[in-house]
Amino acid sequence: LLPTQWVQPGSTTELFVVAMASVRFVLGCAVALTAPHGDLLGSHRPGCCAQIVFAPPDQVASIAPQMRRSATMHVEGYFNARDVSNLRPLRQAQSIYSQLLEHDRNAEDPQQLIETLGSAAEVAALLGLDSQAERLFGELLALPTCSHDRKLASQPSCAAYAGGKLAVLRRSAGKTSDSAAAVEAAKAKGVTWTEALQLPPDHLSGLYARAVWPAEDVPVARRLAEAFEDIAEEFKRLEAAAKRGKRLKWQATPDFFLRAQGSGKWDEIMLKGGSWEREPCRVMERLCDLLRDIREIVGPGQHGGKDLGVPGRVAFLRMSPGTVLRPHTANWNGRLNVHLPIRVPEGCEGSGCGGIQVGDEPLLQWKLGVPIVFDDSFVHAAVLPAEASGERIVLHVSVWHPEIVAHTP
């Protein structure tokens, strides 16, 4: 309960806090180990109880709700930590879901089965168990109840979610024809995709589909290119402030899990998420002032009578040599991403310095001050080879798709 600034390393206060935490942990474990099976997986328990992930087979039916809460807690712990190497919570969730699947396959609750299959498949994919994830997503897509109009957790379409994930996994494994078959299976269930590699779970029909857009056709990209020198100069102050680490620092991106395990580093300084960040915009004042007045960035959008909110975020993204971002798609197709390279490794004018692969388009290579515009609802991936001479930093700006009507906020 004490403010962290009161707890000095090596002080009596620190020893007291550590001692009390240890007592809490031991008491929590004692309660768990003496409780009936129905409490073994209660996520409300302190200490070690959150780590108990096994239930006797004959007890699963009676404590399934506690097991689902515990699995959710472990997955949330992984995402809150934003550490791709922190696999223990995912392994614990995987153990729980494997037990729940045995139960749910024999139960008469089709919605619960697709929820469990979806969660188990997602955890397997996060763990890098691609074969297992492929099998589970395939089982999910094959279920008659996994239709286009059936929701799956936060996803608006079970068929689009399962079909897209399955197609990407198969394509990554070199199974091109099997990937195409997954796309067709999802479309047979009503999914409205029109492009083979544009596979967002939430697909807005009727929008012109193009994986890579000419920067000259996107006004925001043109404005950023024109302001490149000023942005690069202002960024030096932001970088210096981040090195001091008092009010600003580089942090793992919200999509940290896309980085392949054991590869490089991928982090960000965010200028705008749901709202503009005060401290970064204090340092990058001219850039934030430039972007704040652009409707394609800040204006709420609408398509087909549906309110879409705002397109996304503004951030500086940093990638170190040896970083690999696995193939993936965005959740929807209502936006474009503009990347303005602020720093690229020396000598990076050839193919030896990696880039972004979007759909079947030629590799997009980073060139200092030259904007890249792409639709991230297409399957895409990125790599900066280990032999690159330095890091890559881009200014990332999400803008509305040109056919989305943006309103003045």
Express each pLDDT in 305-362 by its tens digit: 888 888 889 999 999 999 999 999 999 999 999 999 999 998 766 556 899 999 999 9
Q: With CA atoms as reference, report the closest residue to 270 among 396, 399, 400.
A: 396
Looking at 20-29, 50-59, 118-127, 337-346, which range is the least confident one? 20-29
The pLDDT confidence band at residue 53, using thresholds 50, 70 and 90, is: low
- Among all chains, which residue has been given the structure tokens 């689009």? 160
Cβ-contact 127, 91 below 8 angstroms: yes
Distances (CA, A) of 12 to 15, 20, 22, 26, 275: 5, 12, 15, 21, 41
d(CA 25, CA 47): 4
CB 146 within 8 A of CB 121: no
The pLDDT-based confidence of 245 (bands split at 50, 70, 90) is confident
Q: Are strands 392-400 and 335-343 parallel, antiparallel or unpaired?
A: antiparallel
Strands lying side by side in the sheet with 306-309? 306-309, 301-303, 405-406
pLDDT in tens, 390-405: 999 999 999 999 999 7
Q: How many CB atoms lie within 10 A of CB 187?
A: 16
